[in-house]
Each structure stands twice: as C-alpha cells, then as structure tokens.
Structure 1
Amino acid sequence: MLKRLLLAAAMPVLVCWGGAALHAQDAPKSYVGNETCAQCHEAEYRRFTEYSKKHHSFQSIEKLQDGLTPQELQQCYGCHTTGFGQPGGFVDPVSTPTMKDLGCESCHGPGSLHVETEDPEHIQGDLTIQDCRRCHNEERVRAFNFQPLIRSGAH
C-alpha cells in the first residue's frame, strides 16, 4: 500500500476547475517550441538548425504569399510551420514567431507532456516514412517536386 501511495505521489497532477484531479498524461498536449527541446537535446537541436532545410521552411511561404488567397496560405501553414491550428502551435508570424518554421515537434509531435514527465514514451521518437507522408504525400511530390528524407539532416 505504501509503495502505491509513493508512486501516486510521484505522478504529476494538475488540479482542474472544480477541484478534479487530472494526471499529466491525461492533459491536452501542446506545442512547446524548439528552444524547450534544445534544453535537453542540445546536439540534435544544433544539427537541426545548422543542416536541415526545415529550419527555414517559412521562407517558402514568404516568397509565394502575395499570390495566394488566405485559404491557400493556411494550407501552406500545415506543412511549413510547427503546430498550426493546435494548442501552443503557430498562429501567425507576429504572435508566434518561434513556431513559424518547422521544428522538432513538426515530426515528433507536441512536446508538453514529454517535457513535464521526461518520459520518452510521451513523444514520438522513431520516425517512419509514414510520418513524412503527412506532408510529403503523392499529391505534393507531384506539385512541388520534393522527396521525403528520413531525418534530412535533422539529427
């Protein structure tokens, strides 16, 4: 019994409105940004910022945005920004400038729970080609002539 109490006490708990307890793994995940990831994953972050084209993905939008409708522009945000339309993710370049390029969480998913618990199970570690196909799908490969590369200089 004491062991169970100690384990329960070690679990991060959030208290929600109305006093109900909510364990951290049940809380909605949100995006935290590259700088947060870099605190523990310094070497990966350094390689990503030095070698990956993804780190400058918003430049493509800036080059084309004058010829796009607002709806077309929002379609670009889904693959050229981090967490567009999601809690903590990209909103616009003025209010969320640190999320305007692709970042760690674009491939590995929102990091808030992983940051809170430091549990590798709370972030997507090993990526597959299926993860890349969220953006690098057949339609976009034909339209933009790009290819998915696992890691692509990221780390």
Structure 2
Amino acid sequence: MSRSRLPAMLVVLALLAAWEPSAWAEAPRYVGSAVCAGCHPGQYERYRQYSKKAHSSRGVKLMAKGLTPEELASCYGCHTTGYGKPGGFTDFAATPELADAGCEVCHGPGAEHVATSDPAAIKGKLTVADCAPCHDDPRVRSFGYKPLLQAGAH
C-alpha cells in the first residue's frame, strides 16, 4: 500500500471501528398481515371483515390492464404493503402476502416486532395523521373516506 493511501485507510478503519452494530442491521422487513393474526386475532378478523384495505388488491388487478406503469406504481403505493420500500410488495406472484394494504401499511414493518414481541418495535397508537400519506384531500373528496380508527375495524 502506498504511503498516500495510508491516511485514507486509517480514516476508514476508524469509522468502521466506531460504527454501531445496529447501523449494519438490514432494513426493516414486512411479514404480511396473516402473521399478525397469531397474536392479534380480534384485530385481524375485524380488519379482514370490515376494512376495504384488506381486499385492496382486487381493484388494482381489475384496473391494471388500462393503466400505464407509472399509474400502476402509484396505485401500488397505497393499495399494497410496503411497495417501493425494502422488503415490501414487488408483484402479485413474488409477494402475494403483501398484495393488500395490510397491518404494516399503518403500523410499519413487523418482522422485528414478531421476532421480539416488543411493543416498541412497531407503531402501536395511530392517529388520523398516519392515514394522510394515502388518504390526502383529493382522495378523501373522491370517495368519501372515513377513518376506521374510530369504527373499531382498526
């Protein structure tokens, strides 16, 4: 190694030595709503029975043929779980467990919570503001969205 590279290598080694192990952890992973049912059966059943989100991929599949790839990607962003994020929905064949807008759309990726049962590993208390990324003003006006937070459907 040349002497000119030595200072740069020392800086890299110092940064690596100071790096927290948690910084090397992989990105949060999605597990799919069916996994949540094991510990949260009541919430899961209400979600499946009363929430339109639980069946949101049906509409996307029906409309997909008439949409451009950009329009379809926009639909996936709200009608599937984790689209465009590491470990999220990619397509109906590869990630069918994430095809609907499931628990993790609102509560965040659940792999760590499932593995540890730590309530702090997932977002527990939701507000209407958590709904805003998908339920913005134009969408609310177009289909009369009412938050299910107050309806008991979770």
Q: Shorter chain as normaliser: what TM range?
A: 0.7 to 0.9
Gap regions ≥5 residues in structure 1: 1-19
Q: What is the letter of the counterpart of residue 149 of structure 1?
A: P
- Distance change in 2, residues 1:22/1:39 (3 Å): farther
Q: Which residue of 1 aligns with 2:122?
A: 123
TM-score after normalising by structure 2: 0.78
Query: 2:94 is matched with which residue?
Result: 95
1:57 alignment partner, SS class: helix
- Structure 2: state its 5+ residue gaps: 1-18
How far has the Cα of 1:137 moved from its partner? 0.3
Matched length: 135
CA displacement at 1:44 relative to structure 2? 1.0
Where does residue 110 of structure 2 map in the other structure?
Answer: 111
Contact 1:127–1:150 at 8 Å: present in 2 too? no
Deviations 1:99-152 (A, max 9, x none): 11111101111111211221111111111111011100013224x323141335
Is the counterpart of residue 134 in structure 1 residue 133 in structure 2? yes
Q: What's the RMSD between the two structures over aligned residues? A: 2.2
**Which residue identity lines up with residue 117 of structure 2 in the other structure?**
E
- Residues 42-85 of structure 1, C-alpha deviations (whole Å, 9 max, x = no match): 11111111121111001121222122100110000000001112
In 2, distance between residues paired with 1:150 and 1:133? 13
CA distance in 1, matches of 2:146, 2:132: 7
Q: Is the 1:136–1:146 Cα contact (8 Å) retained in structure 2?
A: no
TM-score, normalised to structure 1, is 0.77
Higher helix proportion: 2
CA separation in 2, counterparts of 1:23 and 1:80? 31
Hey, what does 1:149 align to over in structure 2?
Answer: 147
Rounded to whole Å, the distance in 2 between the matches of 1:22 and 1:150 is: 39
Q: Look at both structures and tell me which one has the larger radius of gyration over its CA atoms.
A: 2
